[in-house]
Structure 1
Amino acid sequence: MASDPHTLVFTAYLTMAGVMAGLWMLQLLHRNASLADVGWCAGLIATVCWYAAQASGDAERKMLAVVMVSVYAGRLGIHLLFDRLIGKAEDARYRRLRAEWGRAERLKMFGYFHLQAAAVALFSLPFLVLTQNPRPPFGLIEVVGAIVWIVAVGGEAVADRQLAAFRAKPANRSRVCREGLWYYSRHPNYFFEWLHWWAYVVMTIGSPGWLLTWLAPLGMGWALVKFTGIPPAEQQALERRGDEYRIYQKTTSALVPWFPRPWPTSRG
């Protein structure tokens, strides 16, 4: 059954607003706002599955969209679930926000959770364009896009695992991870997260609504560089790791992996 794309997106937004309101109430009890992050991942999967059931595009293309979002958001959601939620104290960035917001913390946290509902609607747009396309999904542009997708999703998973393995060693608790991909970028996981969204731009070239797919990588790039990604992560790293992290900042690329700059051991 085909539905109007505008109706699909608006309905997804309203549904996720209700879900996020429920998760906001749940975090009032558990005091762990990472529920919003896990909820975003689960909500994106559910939304794209619903798009696929309602959209008028090619059946194989719709199945491809479901598989891609399930692998991407499923892996990320499970990682966040065990890294930040189950048996874990609330992430430092959320504790900092609560302290900054003071008495307005509950209301502003509600707004933050509501923002995740809007984010699901925004980042579901590439998948909506994908599921609306009647063309079979096995052309050259899909192959190129799939290669970008595999590199990006795989790279993000590798970066997350490398950081988790580094942090699991007690001796590294206050040290800076410079192993693997983290030798070339201070935030390789963010880079591959951002790259992943460009895969859909490539895969949907020539599709109706193609320009909408650009909103996801542009929005994610802005959020990672200016808002929820690098700024709070680096502030926390500086507080915990001090001068070692300052040297890391001066020698290593913030986002795009590249060879680190040499750091002089002496001045003269």
Structure 2
Amino acid sequence: MKKLQMQKFVGAVLFTSLCAGLVLAQPLEAPSNDPAAVDAVKQVGQDMGDAMVAVDIDKLNQIFADDWATVDSSGKILTKESLLSDFKSGGHKLEWFENGPVDVQVFGDVAVAQGRVKEKRTDRGQDTSGQFLWMDLLKKRAGKWAVVRSAGARVVSADSPKAQSQDPTIVETMKQFAQDTGDAMVAGDVDKLNQIYADDWATVDSSGKIFTKESLLSDFKSGKHKLLSFEIGPMDVQVFGDVAVVQASVTEKRLHDGKDISGQFVFMDLLKKRGDKWVIVRTLGAKVI
């Protein structure tokens, strides 16, 4: 159900300079604990599923921002237009869903949400049911929350012994992974970044275009983009077998083409364990407003 170039965007397990020309020097802002804001974001997820089951295109049109986009498993962009068309034509059908616990962080007019969902669904006649880990980036526009970016992955069965793990060792591994990514960026260690990001890593930049691992590494290797320092805020980690989602905020001092684009951002990373190593496969993020 659930489905950023460095002035183009550089997303990382921590860093999401979605916008260019950013200057923000205040201390790291804590997420809002306003229950009303958190509940409103959670309700968007429930409403999304209900609208998909009911094939309520008008409601889905309200839930997804016009500039919504995601990168599918084949590395191609899926836009709002394509999403709505698939439901309208009957190519994609969601018969039922059951949401698990949802974690939400709200920073002013930007929110990040992550959770898991069980679904019974079909895609062009094929059963694609299962359990999925998802993450959404939302922005408040004209007083209403809208989903602007999404990512997700299939996870092991809820009944499997490899299902959700809160093993402190694994959680700490994920947090250290984020720190290592930032350290590699500050050091300009392209070899290390090459190991951290999956070859099929991709994200959608603020203009709606795909930004790939090749472009990411090229910008750091050329010196076009430089991360001078960073400070990560509290992290939320969920691990389901060989899939994990990490969300947090980060304050950065960074330059792009010699221009200061420092700021505070929220980010979410989707990671997969391939072989015996964790790698980042998708990233979402935005400037905190």
| Both structures adopt the same fold (TM-score exceeding 0.5) | no
TM-score with structure 2 setting the length: 0.26
- Going by fraction, where is helix more abundant, 1 or 2? 1
- Going by fraction, where is strand more abundant, 1 or 2? 2
Q: Which has the larger radius of gyration?
A: 1
Greater RCO (CA < 8 Å, at least 6 residues apart): 2
